[in-house]
Amino acid sequence: MAEQEASGLQVLLHTLQSTSDRESILAILQVLGDLLSVGTDRRIHYMISKGGSEALLQTLVDTARTSSPDYGILLPLFRLLVKVGLRDKKFGQKALELEALDVTLTLARKNLSHSQNLLHCLWALRVFASRVTTGAMLGINGALELLFKVITPYTRKHTRIIRTAAEVLAALLKSKSNSRRAVNRGYVISLLRLHQDWHSHDTVNTYVQIRQALLLCLKHIATIRSGREAFLACRGMEILFSTTQNHLDDKSMEPIISVALQILRQCYPKSLLPLLTASSAYAFRILGSITSEPPRVLTEEDFEDDGDEEVDRDSDSEDVKEEDNDLETDVNKLSSKPGLDRPEEELKQYEAMCLELSYSFEELESKLEEDLNFEETQCANHHHIPAAASPKQHGLNKDQSCWGLEREDTVQTSLLSTVKMGRSTVHLASKKTPAIKTYQKVPCSHLGIDSSGNEIPDIQAFLKEDVWDIDAISCPRMSASLENSTMPTESVEVIDKLLQTHPKDIPFHDPHLYMAKARRTRSVPDFKMMAFPDLWGHHLPPSAQSMLERKCGVQRIKIFEDVRRLIQPSDVINKVVFSLDEPGPLQDMSAPHSLRFCSKFESGNLRKAIQVREFEYDLLLNADVNSPQHQQWFYFKVSGMRAAVPYCFNVINCEKLNSQFNYGMQPTMYSVKEALLGRSTWVRTGCEICYYKNHYCRSAAATGGASGKCYYTLTFAVTFPHSEDVCYLAYHYPYTYTALMAHLDILEKSINPKQVYFRQDVLCQTLGGNPCPLVTITAMPESNSTDHLEQFRQRSYQVITARVHPGESNASWVMKGALEFLVSSDPVARLLRENFIFKIIPMLNPDGVINGNHRCSLRGEDLNRQWLLPSAHLQPTIYHAKGLLYYLSSIGRSPVVFCDFHGHSQKKNVFFYGCSIKETLWQAGCPVSTPTVLEDVSYRILPKILDKLAPAFTMGSCSFLVEKSRASTARVVVWREMGVSRSYTMESSYCGCNQGPYKGLQFGTRELEEMGAMFCLGLLILELKSVSCSHQLLTRAATLLNVEEGALDHHLQR
């Protein structure tokens, strides 16, 4: 039957080409039209496969070349050609070979006054022009000139023809040769005049499609440099700006606004950043470091188009697709275990970092006997970090709430209770109460109110608001309390008295200790001052803040503001008010209409501030030290503001292609005046937030040699809570190296050394001369008996690292939660300490954190791409972290879990990256031979546990693929070289959650710290679920957690 149908179709097509009988041709065209008018595209493709396109084109040519073309045949023939041509990928080439292009152009020229015939010719030309090669040929044969005869100024007649002709012209101009031809013949000004004419007359937007097609013509011309130059010379920017600026909210104008926006962005003159060099303002001399980049000028390549223009991101389309072509498909590379990257004898040096395996506890016992009644002097800051649920949910009263102070003898509810209660009950308080506002207006009084609602009388009694020396207080010098201080005596006294009034209710924080530690921190710029939030401390916010609802059209509004600045520069101040590149103060301290900026403190990053208008500033971030790139992290001080006035900040040299700032994320702010009133809290702030590509060119050094790439702008508006305040703004909640070092000391003093084994070692010295801490946490042996010491030394290891990327400060807050939980008196923490030895490197890149880097070390390297062959001299922290893992592996003590904490800028939630050979091969479409590819599938258990356990965690975002580009990361190297199947990267979003109990909420430090505690709890559940879990541990767990052993066993589904 199929053969008969094929034979019948072929007969029709053959007859169509061979016959000259009019009735026969019309009959065949009618039959073919009926066949293609019903059913699916399969019929059209079938006809194409049988030579249908060639038959129709040949009939067109034959009919058109008669002395008197028969339009009774040509019109239905054109309709069939359009239907078939849209689905035939080789249609243009076939038309070119059969000379159908010239024939159709000739017919169109002959029918300029015959609208119906002309319309059919234009339909065919539109199909021909959809292929660039045939479009170029049409241009050579005079198609552009023909179309400009058809496209007239505004008229209500023949609008269907005009629209089709404009669409054909837009298709033709996709060819660069046609675009150049249009520029050379002056068609750019013609198109602009046509656009203006139709825009001014079409007041009710009846002919939007014609106007859109005219703009599409300009858009395609603007893809070439000469087109952009012609557009600018014809004042195209001014014309498009004036015709569209008042219609941004008009839904009916959406197709026009969208194209106009793309043209404005394409034609906005490219320029270099207002910086002397793209390289960092800070230089660190070291062997093999990247040299500074000389100033450069724009070249031809900088103006070439860098691909499709990004669309106006007003939707919540934020999915980050994984690239399958980066997957490692070499089974040998995936399954082989490389040898040591260093001599084996070098591993002996790491014995000193594992003293718990050989420590003389008799000496420790005698030392403890000399302690002065530790139980009475124990630090009141000792507390645990359970889930962020309400006190009622945990069965605690107000004084024993989950963030309150605790002692060892406090009756506690285990963190494991959240597993029994179920995930839906966690953090209901955040969902029931409205998100906290940035800052509430609070009338000034003589009483400060802390974040718990308690009065703090000392602050205002000491410093009445009208006499605050806010500048001296806001960024104190590290030597402010020293006798040899060079500061004025009054300033020293102010700082000393200020510290005396510190509320002391911020857990695990001591400003005196912070100041002492800050003096030992070594920075490239040799910072002399401390940021007030780091010194004073941060209270956990009372509840999470909701994600910012994105205002529709905010991106186009910002882009139009950029265009306004270009074409209407009269109100642009363009005054540099802060710069790391220019020594000395740039600001007149008495200037009433200018903010004051500073970033010369630990983790600070702001290179330059330019006042654009009275309440608008362009900000430029500093590149990573010894690098021309990685501008994303910012942290700076701003002062001299007015209250209740929105200030606009434009960070104009960001690099990432997209950001969670487009999807609900806000930057963070800390107000010094609010802190002195008892509300010392980092909060999310800002509105009118948008992240988009701008017109500033990136240097080839910053793009790895690629040209034509541009920076991105992050813009946001902030309304400050007080006039003449000092506020700090940051990309995310800052967490400095000094804060970590002070925190570790306080933790060590807070624990009971009879119960908790807590030791700080120095893993190594960094390139910048700072010690990289290594922390060991476990439980002390019950006694010095042989059995107890053996049990102590046979505990399995868990290894956790964090902050290899300095800008990922959220990783440090997660680590903070994990550390505080592990030393707490929570029953889960006790069980963890009694069964595991934790080796923790809380900050793998101290130098990067100190100097305000976003990604790199002082050598300008991403340390998480150095794990394959690290150098002891160039990447010491990675070299020795890997060496420690090698040592543990060499003595048969590889960790049960290795996890590296990170932050993620383009995804929401918390999730894992792991490693799986089979999942990688399956994803890549490679055949997997089960007998030859064996792997431990337990790598999925921990993320599944956390998915049920932690409110912020989602299994759905986890990935276990091994990419070629990640071969030198910690996760992959530890998995491949040390054989740790549960080797993970844990990513925490900078933004928040789009699922679970925290859906729609941004992460605060509370949620991040909770995630650290939940991760630790997950390790216990992992052990309790394992087949190898001892009966003794299950019994101990049941006892400590106050549940029956059978019930626990059933709940864990072992």
CA max distance for the chain:
119
Q: What is the pLDDT of residues 283-314, one digit of tens each?
A: 998 765 444 444 444 444 444 444 444 444 44
Per the DSSP assignment, residues forming a β-bridge with 651 are 619, 714
d(CA 562, CA 568): 10
| Structure-token pair, residue 478 | 């590290």
Instruction: Look at residue 314 in the predicted model and tell me its pLDDT.
Output: 45
* Contact criterion met (CB below 8 Å) for 884 and 348: no
DSSP calls for 342-362: S-GGGGGGGGGG-GGGT--HH
Q: Which are the catalytic amino acids?
A: 987
* Contact criterion met (CB below 8 Å) for 916 and 961: yes
| Structure-token pair, residue 333 | 């590379």
Burial of 343 (0-12, 13-18, 19+ CB in 10 A): exposed
Neighbours of 315 (CB within 10 A): 11
Closest CA to 473 of 733, 644, 727: 727
List, in order, residues 6 or more apart from 638 with CB less than 8 Å away. 595, 596, 597, 726, 727, 728, 729
Report the predicted TM-score, pTM, of the whole model to 2 decimal places: 0.86
Per DSSP, helices labelled H in 98-158 are 100-110, 115-129, 132-140, 143-150
Instruction: Look at residue 700 in the predicted model and tell me its pLDDT.
Output: 73
Closest CA to 222 of 166, 258, 168, 265: 265
Give every residue of the chain whose pLDDT is below 50, as ranges.
Answer: 1-2, 4, 289-316, 364, 367-368, 370-412, 419-438, 440-452, 455-463, 465-467, 480-486, 589-590, 1054
- The 3-class SS string of 242-300 reads HHHHHHCCCHHHHHHHHHHHHHHHHHCCCECCCCCCCCCCCCCCCCCCCCCCCCCCCCH
d(CA 916, CA 904): 21
Q: Letter for the amino acid at 650?
A: N
Torsion of CA 741, 384, 792, 754, to 10 degrees: 80
Helix (H, G, I), strand (E, B) or coil at 839: strand
Torsion of CA 854, 855, 856, 860, to 10 degrees: -90
Instruction: Look at residue 1046 in the predicted model and tell me its pLDDT.
Output: 57
Instruction: Look at residue 1042 in the predicted model and tell me its pLDDT.
Output: 67
Give φ, ψ of 115 to 5 degrees: -60, -45
**Neighbour order of strands in the sheet with 771-779:** 756-765, 771-779, 836-841, 796-802, 897-904, 983-989, 910-913
Per DSSP, helices labelled H in 130-247 are 132-140, 143-150, 159-172, 176-184, 187-201, 208-221, 225-233, 236-244
Closest CA to 660 of 556, 457, 810, 798: 810
Helix (H, G, I), strand (E, B) or coil at 134: helix
